[in-house]
Amino acid sequence: MFDSSFQKCLFLAFSLLCLTLADPSTAFSRRGSLSPPALPTPYDGPSPNITNLTAQFFHRHKSQRVAIKYGPFTTLPSTTNNGIDTYEVLNAPTPCTDCLVTYIAADLEHPDGTPANTDTGMWLNHAILYSTKEEGAVCPQYYPRRMFATGNERTPADISVNGTKHSGIYLPANVTFLLESELLNELPTERDVYLSITYEFIPSKPSSFKSLIPILLDITSPCNPSSTPTPTDSSTSFSITSIPWTANLSGEVVFTAGHLNDGGAVLQVLKKNESVCDSNATYAATSGFVSQAMNGVNGSTASQDLQHVSNMSTCAEIGHMRVGQAWSVRAEYDFSLHGGLVLGDGTREEVEGWAVLYVRQNEDDDDKLVS
């Protein structure tokens, strides 16, 4: 059942609900004058390069850290669909199998290995890693497990909390990944970029470790994207709260980080309608997140505000989730503090708001009580 609905999802015109996160504008035609983006381009290139790095945590368990370089992805010129396209790597290489992933972080690189970011006119709008043989906790009829998601801010998923929590995401022996990414190229020429994902893992599942279940909550979710009203340009400050998701598992929420687009201030994670994490946006903390004043240069995209979201603060150990509890996310935007990104055709980028919660699941059932 699960497989067939995901297939449906993949093949139904790349799809309204399925890739909500990928491109909300396709789903709800919220972007008005924008033409729909091109269909995703399945990646069929050479094998990626795997680099061995130095593991940081759990050395006793023979931990390893690797960076896998996915790509190259050839981005559209800014003159086509504002330089925005979606890329899918079906059967993307995994760092390990029958193993426990304890850290994930993504970054974008130019072919010469230098960082690709807004200062070079290249945005990692988002990247999502799906573990496709496992059900998603939220909206399983549309999503397989979304184990990692990032926006251009590239917040590392430090899901073992710097090695203090004996937990990780278990990848089964038959694991398969789907990597889905949306990139935005602000220059009027096609350019190749690589997505580099760093994973730390333990090549086994030690009995003292517990599994983390990733739960992606989105202001457009859980399943019904059209429930989110589109704020118009006239409102400089507004918030959007998701429909609550009712937890069907219990465990400690070990780590979470939010995502907002430019103009965002805070992404709150709400438990029973009260914030348990305020993930705050920082702008332009490093020079990579400051656009060059490329406005109009060689036909490149105009940016009204040259400063972009560079960091979202993270929360560790924010308490327990219990079966039956309502969890949601709330995004606060304030365009008077930071302007949203204005695309090449003059339209404003969509707002987004989501967070991935990593829940250290209780394997015993004795606290499956509604509280």
Binding site for ligand NAG (CB under 6 A): 46, 48-49, 52, 69, 133, 135, 137, 140, 154, 162, 172-174, 187, 248-249, 273, 278-280, 282, 285-286, 294, 297-298, 310-311, 313, 315
Q: How far apart are the C-alpha atoms of 195 and 355, rounded to whole Å?
A: 21
Q: How many CB atoms lie within 10 A of CB 226?
A: 11
- Whose Cβ is closer to ligand NAG: residue 37's or residue 353's? 353
DSSP state of 8: H
Q: How far is the CB of 311 from ligand NAG (least distance, A)?
A: 4
- Note whether 266 and 280 are within 8 A (CB): yes
Q: How far is the CB of 178 from ligand NAG (least distance, A)?
A: 14
Least Cα distance to 184 among 294, 108, 70 occurs for: 108
Q: How far apart are the C-alpha atoms of 172 and 235, rounded to whole Å?
A: 47
- Whose Cβ is closer to ligand NAG: residue 227's or residue 282's? 282
Alpha carbon 118 to its chain's center:
17
- Whose Cβ is closer to ligand NAG: residue 8's or residue 36's? 8
Q: How far is the CB of 66 from ligand NAG (least distance, A)?
A: 7
Q: How far is the CB of 137 from ligand NAG (least distance, A)?
A: 5
In sign, the C-alpha dihedral spanning 338, 343, 347, 353 is: negative
Alpha helices per DSSP H over the chain: 2-11, 24-28
Q: How far is the CB of 118 from ligand NAG (least distance, A)?
A: 12
Q: How far is the CB of 253 from ligand NAG (least distance, A)?
A: 13
Tell me the residue nearest to ligand NAG as measured from the CB.
135
- Whose Cβ is closer to ligand NAG: residue 112's or residue 233's? 112
- Note whether 328 and 227 are within 8 A (CB): no
Run of H or E including 251: strand 251-260
- Whose Cβ is closer to ligand NAG: residue 37's or residue 251's? 251
- Whose Cβ is closer to ligand NAG: residue 230's or residue 313's? 313
Q: How many CB atoms lie within 10 A of CB 282?
A: 14
